[in-house]
Amino acid sequence: MSFRASVVTLFPDLFPGPLGASVIGRGMEKGAWSLETHFLRDYARDRHRTVDDTPSGGGAGMVLRPDILAAALDDVAPGEDPRPKIVMSPRGRPLTQARVRDLAAGPGAVIVCGRFEGMDQRVIDARNLEEISIGDYVLAGGEVAAMVLLEAVVRLLPGVLGAAESHADESFENGLLEYPQYTRPQAFEGHEIPEILTSGDHGRIERWRREQSEALTRQRRPDLWARYTQKP
């Protein structure tokens, strides 16, 4: 069973974008995952194909209508579709590598890309949409955020990135940031590759990498370091 992604968006032409390139695109070509887009205006009910309206209570901007979004979601994921329904939102829970792994282990995802001032809360509640954020900032819409989520997930699927070992030492996989990486030439602008990495002593190399990961995490991400040191 391949991972199946369905994206509800006002800008379907933005896809696949970077998801069609490199190993992610090749994974799609090989059938490891699939991507379909659904144009939200196709579910509008008037000749102007209106999908939004003014916010109740006043305020700037426009809000996506719940009836239009519900019609789209019910068509894209009818009945007992087991895929989680996600909306990319700056107020959502931060995307983590743990959530990415959970999604990669499942059948796929239905992702709604917001626009304007957001969407009516009632459709979020009624369709049990999971709100996910990719960071503490605001984008013009959810399309780029959806691509971030999908790239993070798809690269973990079997046969997409390559050897399973490729994932093991990456940032966040073990609760730490990744250690520094080096390659040839041996000398670059007066700086040498650390001697230990060319020693051939794999035990020492592993310990050095762990120490580097711990130091970087402690310096740059004290929030991650606190969680790491509190693990049982």
**182 in a labelled binding site:** no
Question: Is 160 annotated among the ligand-binding residues?
Answer: no
Residue 134 assigned ligand-binding role: yes
Strands 52-53 and 85-94: unpaired
Gap between the Cα atoms of 113 and 5, Å rounded: 13
Cα-based distances in Å from 231 to 155, 177, 225, 226, 227: 27, 16, 10, 9, 6
DSSP string, 4-40: EEEEEES-GGG-SGGGGSHHHHHHHHTTSEEEEEEEG
> Any binding-site annotation on 144?
no
Strands 187-188 and 130-133, sheet pairing:
unpaired
Annotated binding residue 87: no
Q: Report the distance separating Cα 31 and Cα 133, nearest Å.
A: 28
| Calpha distance 138→91 (Å, rounded) | 10
Write phi, then psi, for 221 (nearest 5 degrees). Answer: -135, 75
On whether 68 is known to bind a ligand per the annotation, the reply is no
Write phi, then psi, for 7 (nearest 5 degrees): -120, 125
Residue 201 annotated as binding site: no
What are the binding residues? 114, 134-139
Residues contributing to the annotated binding site for S-adenosyl-L-methionine = 114, 134-139
